[in-house]
Chains A and B, each alone.
Chain A
Amino acid sequence: VFAYAIPSEQLNGIMAPLVFCFILAYFVSVMFSEIFGMAIETILCCFIADEEMFPPEKRFAEGGLQTAISKTAQANAGATVAVESKEVADAKPAEEAML
């Protein structure tokens, strides 16, 4: 199946490489999930900021999120408190500065 040999004639068992490999993979997976989790939370906050700051035609949301906005806007209509206009006002300059 594998067309090349491995320079390890002295391999005594499969446990040692497996255990170490698993430890490394464990750490990589933990770090990756930290990064991915941070990315997910950032996108959520960006999405909320996007929705609170911009009128629908100027929003940055794309694809699935765009349809999600209009859907959740209906769902949220009764549930959540209206956005405070003050916050939008002081948020905007910073946003423009960033862009």
Chain B
Amino acid sequence: LSTTDQTNDYLLFFSLYVIVVCISSCPSSDDNEAFICKDDITNSNIADGFTNTMAGDCMWHMASTNVVGRCYIDGSFDVILAAAADTATANGVTLTGVSAPSESGTAGSGFITDFLGDVYGFSGYIFGFGIGVATLVAFLYLFFLRIPGVLTIIIWTIILSIAVFLLAGAFMLFSLSSTWRDDGQHSTSEADTMLYISYFVMACAAIYLCLILVLGKRINMAVSIVKEAARALGAMPGLIFTPVIQVIGLVIFLVPWFIYVLFIASAGEMSVDPITGSRVFTYDTNSKYAFLYMLFCWFWTSEFLVACGQLMIALAISCWYFTRDKKETGQTTINWSAKTLFWYHLGTAAFGSLVIAIILTIRAIISYIQRKAKKSGNKILEYVMCILQCCMWCLEKIMRFLNKNAYIQTAIYGYSFCKACRNAFFLLLRNILRVAAVNMVADFVLLLGKVSQRASVIYLLPFLSYSSPTTVPHLICVCV
């Protein structure tokens, strides 16, 4: 029972901020007459125990809970201390020098302990604010987007301010280059470089302005589309909870998957590295292929769940769009889309996710070869693999985008995956400008939404500062 006793199976620290020893489990109840002591300390009676406690070698039992290998007191330390002091007086010892955990600062009150203790004690608030308030902000944001005119003003302000920023930047760089040319402190080449940079920014500004002119009215259309999407989500708020179902599905899959992986991992031969002396597992080719197969299973299943979520949302939203009387939509639409998904479109989701899973597996193999090449110092192989990896990354992004649109086609028309993929491709090609405009506006809107949701953490601050007045200066710092 000590901090250094490695032969003991228990690695639990009894840390009441006063002493640190290893014990098998945290005391479940307060007991002022039983003591936990460091090695080589024995108490002949209760008075002895209190004397050793004041010396910092013992601690009486306090009801506590095991949090990540540390015992945290359940009740108030002051109350327990008062009770212990009474017992000590009854045994002829005056208990002094045992202070409350937060003030003692002795062994055990390290940064990690404080950190975990805070998280444990505040977990309700953390979950409430992290999930609850963030979701609330999301819905408020949806509502805010639908206020007439607001989104149009925001989007055009962003677009025009970017244009002004680019033009002003180009002008400033240009004037800077002409001052540099004349002031005698900078060489001609420096002034030239600055001039070329200003030309480059000017070209960017010109391309950007051309893009805005070409997109023109389509941006207004994109704004109305975003508004309609906000309306649809507002009508079916249950859609927000699809990730919860996905996570549950993933956990159900992960349990057997993890067991299989552990079995394969334990099939390796253990050998001792002759240089470092550390133990390493070596695997034969069969186990390596088994690992690869498990990796593929993981990719396919996780992508399948993502695809199911996307299909479900596409089904619900398209059903909402093609309903004349929008009042009929709501939770029933979500139920209908879930049922349709499970009855008709699981194959589409499986096919689409298979494509992504194959790409991801190839990427995993490439990164494995990359690591091998780095170890063996084969530069050519390393570069080739790097280029291949980059290509596969691009392919993955494109396929994800195409898949998304194929699922939407499936949701609208009920096509099979291949046909939906082909149709989605030609649809995107036909309406490339609209898609560009919608993507641009959607990116702005989603970015604003993300920032506002993450900032919702700020609402936690008043609660925190209320509970500990010393943090008020920090609060001001964070707010500023």
Q: Interface of A with B (CB < 8 Å)?
A: 1-2, 5-18, 20-26, 28-50, 60, 62-65, 67-68, 71-72, 75, 79-81, 83, 87, 91, 94-95, 97-99
Contact with A along B400-425 (1 / 0, CB 8 A): 00001100110111110000000110
Question: Would you call A91 and B413 a contact (CB within 8 A)?
Answer: yes
B129 contact set on A, CB distance < 8 A: 21, 24-25
Partner of B233, one of A7, A16, A39: A39
Partner of A8, one of B122, B127, B229: B122
Residue B310 at the A interface, CB < 8 A? Answer: yes
Binds A, one of B80-88, B294-302, B311-319: B311-319
A21 contact set on B, CB distance < 8 A: 125-126, 129-130, 457, 460
Residue B121 at the A interface, CB < 8 A? Answer: yes
**Across chains A and B, which 7 residue pairs bring their CB atoms closest together, nearest first?**
A24-B130, A64-B224, A16-B118, A29-B453, A12-B114, A68-B221, A28-B134
Binds A, one of B198-206, B266-274, B427-435: B427-435
Question: Would you call A95 and B412 a contact (CB within 8 A)?
Answer: yes
Cα separation A12 to B460 with both chains bound (whole Å): 15
In the assembled complex, how far is the CB of residue B356 from the closest CB belonging to chain A, in whole angstroms? 15
Question: Would you call A16 and B453 a contact (CB within 8 A)?
Answer: no
Question: Would you call B322 and A46 a contact (CB within 8 A)?
Answer: yes
Contacts between chains A and B (CB distance < 8 A), count? 248
A13-B118, A40-B229 given; A23·B130 CB < 8 A: yes
Cα separation A20 to B118 with both chains bound (whole Å): 10
Question: Would you call A17 and B228 a contact (CB within 8 A)?
Answer: no
Question: Would you call B102 and A12 a contact (CB within 8 A)?
Answer: yes
B475 contact set on A, CB distance < 8 A: 14
Cα separation A44 to B442 with both chains bound (whole Å): 11
A46 contact set on B, CB distance < 8 A: 317-318, 321-322, 408, 412
Question: Would you call A43 and B442 a contact (CB within 8 A)?
Answer: no
Question: Would you call A71 and B412 a contact (CB within 8 A)?
Answer: no
Cα separation A7 to B118 with both chains bound (whole Å): 11
Beyond A13-B118, A33-B450, 7 additional pairs, beta carbon < 8 A: A10-B117, A38-B313, A39-B239, A43-B321, A45-B318, A47-B225, A63-B228
Question: Would you call A45 and B412 a contact (CB within 8 A)?
Answer: yes
* Contact-residue size bin, chain B (C-beta under 8 Å from the other chain): 35 or more
Question: Would you call A37 and B118 a contact (CB within 8 A)?
Answer: no
Cα separation A79 to B433 with both chains bound (whole Å): 10
A2-B463, A8-B467, A44-B438 given; A29·B217 CB < 8 A: no
Which residue on chain A has the smallest CB distance to residue B456? A25
B427 contact set on A, CB distance < 8 A: 45, 48
A45-B427, A60-B324 given; A18·B457 CB < 8 A: yes
Question: Would you call B435 and A44 a contact (CB within 8 A)?
Answer: yes
In the assembled complex, how far is the CB of residue B174 from the closest CB belonging to chain A, in whole angstroms? 34
In the assembled complex, how far is the CB of residue A54 from the closest CB belonging to chain B, in whole angstroms? 10
Question: Would you call A42 and B318 a contact (CB within 8 A)?
Answer: yes
Partner of A17, one of B218, B454, B460, B474: B460
In the assembled complex, how far is the CB of residue A13 from the closest CB belonging to chain B, in whole angstroms? 6
A36 contact set on B, CB distance < 8 A: 142, 229-230, 233, 445-446, 449
Question: Would you call A26 and B240 a contact (CB within 8 A)?
Answer: no
B363 contact set on A, CB distance < 8 A: none
Residue B471 at the A interface, CB < 8 A? Answer: yes
Residue B46 at the A interface, CB < 8 A? Answer: no
Question: Would you call A25 and B130 a contact (CB within 8 A)?
Answer: yes
B345 contact set on A, CB distance < 8 A: none
Residue B45 at the A interface, CB < 8 A? Answer: no
Cα separation A45 to B408 with both chains bound (whole Å): 7
Question: Would you call A24 and B118 a contact (CB within 8 A)?
Answer: no
In the assembled complex, how far is the CB of residue B228 from the closest CB belonging to chain A, in whole angstroms? 5
Question: Would you call B134 and A71 a contact (CB within 8 A)?
Answer: no
Partner of A11, one of B216, B232, B467: B467
Question: Would you call A37 and B126 a contact (CB within 8 A)?
Answer: no
In the assembled complex, how far is the CB of residue B467 from the closest CB belonging to chain A, in whole angstroms? 5
In the assembled complex, how far is the CB of residue B341 from the closest CB belonging to chain A, in whole angstroms? 14
In the assembled complex, how far is the CB of residue B192 from the closest CB belonging to chain A, in whole angstroms? 41
Cα separation A7 to B466 with both chains bound (whole Å): 11
A43-B229, A65-B224 given; A33·B131 CB < 8 A: no
Contact with A along B120-162 (1 / 0, CB 8 A): 0110011101110111001000100000000000000000000
Residue B462 at the A interface, CB < 8 A? Answer: yes
Question: Would you call B217 and A75 a contact (CB within 8 A)?
Answer: yes
Interface centre among B242, B411, B464, B466 (most CB of A within 10 A): B464
A14-B474, A71-B220 given; A97·B414 CB < 8 A: yes
Question: Would you call A14 and B217 a contact (CB within 8 A)?
Answer: no
Partner of B404, one of A38, A60, A97: A38
Question: Would you call B130 and A8 a contact (CB within 8 A)?
Answer: no
Cα separation A12 to B318 with both chains bound (whole Å): 50
Partner of A12, one of B118, B324, B412: B118
Cα separation A65 to B225 with both chains bound (whole Å): 7
Cα separation A21 to B453 with both chains bound (whole Å): 11
Cα separation A17 to B458 with both chains bound (whole Å): 11
